[in-house]
């Protein structure tokens, strides 16, 4: 409610400045100049650092003030003329200020919206386009599986699948095909598939052996066309003894580094 009230007064100030300017500013050129100044200040406060745009705003207001004082002194205006000039100067200064506030508010709202969207993506369990687990959810579920696996003295593997395609639209096509193939290839109740970033998917293969990893990968490749397979690279790593070490391995994958183990080489 407070934010809506604030926005209402900002819009009221903008509209009031424009309407009042059309009534009291006699020079059309001066009035157009006021509108242009409002646009400039609004855009500057949206797209430049707050410190710089605000400093420019104060500078403009001071220049207008000194200019009007010097003009009224030089032409020896009477009190009535000076009063009108001061009113116009105050209106122009206020319009520039309210335009700056409007741009600043838009910028802050955009930043808040971006943070909320990022938080929503973080909390979402599945990627809305592919059905693959988000990274945050993958890590949470992987830790649970890892704890049970180690308690039962079982072994597991991580498989990193990277899309080696520079064009974004081709990445999207291959990612969609890969996601479907991955979900059809892993064991739904035992394994996990997570989205590391737009070009990479990570598999957590639970309670399996090197031969089991080969079976999963062969099954996966069999569901992909030749073009997609040529654009993919696969790397594997045996899960370590501690979860912290597993998280470190995942960080390596996220950074795009390599373990040095190819899918055809599962030796420790």
Give the domain CATH number at 243.
3.30.70.270
- The two three-digit tokens of residue 220, written as one number: 């996966």
pLDDT at 267: 32
Residue at 261 is within a domain = no
What's the distance, CA 30 to chain centroid? 41
- 88 and 42 fall within a common domain: yes
pLDDT at 263: 42
Domain that holds residue 149: 135-254
* Closest alpha carbon to 84 in 23, 139, 14: 23
pLDDT at 2: 67
- 47 and 159 fall within a common domain: no
- 21 and 117 fall within a common domain: yes
- For 115, phi then psi, to 5°, come to -65, -40
Upper half-sphere CA count for residue 15 (Cβ side, 13 Å): 6
- 88 and 195 fall within a common domain: no
- 233 and 158 fall within a common domain: yes
Residue at 259 is within a domain = no
- The two three-digit tokens of residue 178, written as one number: 């890969």
pLDDT at 198: 84
pLDDT at 1: 59
- 223 and 147 fall within a common domain: yes
Low pLDDT (below 50) residues in the chain: 257-268
pLDDT at 91: 92
- 167 and 215 fall within a common domain: yes
The Cα 133–Cα 141 span in angstroms is 9
- What is the reported pTM? 0.52
Domain count, the chain: 2
Last residue within a domain, chosen from 91, 122, 153: 122
* Closest alpha carbon to 194 in 127, 144, 129: 127
């Amino acid at each position: 409610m407070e934010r809506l009230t604030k926005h209402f007064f900002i819009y009221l100030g903008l509209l009031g400045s424009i309407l009042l300017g059309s009534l009291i500013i006699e020079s059309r050129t001066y009035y157009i100049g006021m509108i242009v100044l409002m646009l400039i200040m609004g855009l500057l406060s949206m797209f430049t650092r707050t410190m710089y745009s605000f400093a420019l705003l104060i500078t403009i207001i001071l220049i207008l003030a000194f200019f009007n004082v010097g003009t009224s002194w030089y032409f020896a205006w009477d009190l009535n003329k000076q009063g009108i000039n001061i009113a116009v100067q105050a209106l122009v200064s206020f319009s520039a200020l309210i335009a700056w506030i409007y741009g600043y508010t838009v910028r802050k709202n955009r930043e808040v919206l971006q943070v909320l969207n990022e938080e929503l993506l973080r909390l979402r369990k599945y990627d809305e386009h592919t059905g693959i687990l988000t990274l945050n959810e993958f890590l949470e579920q992987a830790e649970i599986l890892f704890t049970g696996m180690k308690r039962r003295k079982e072994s597991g593997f991580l498989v990193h699948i990277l899309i080696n395609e520079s064009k974004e639209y081709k990445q999207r096509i291959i990612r969609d095909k890969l996601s479907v193939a991955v979900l059809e290839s892993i064991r739904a109740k035992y394994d996990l598939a997570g989205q590391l970033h737009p070009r990479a998917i990570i598999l957590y293969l639970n309670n399996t052996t090197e031969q089991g990893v080969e079976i999963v990968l062969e099954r996966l490749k069999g569901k992909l066309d030749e073009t997609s397979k040529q654009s993919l690279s696969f790397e594997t790593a045996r899960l370590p003894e501690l979860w912290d070490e597993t998280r470190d391995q995942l960080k390596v994958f996220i950074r795009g580094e390599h373990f040095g183990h190819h899918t055809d080489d599962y030796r420790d």
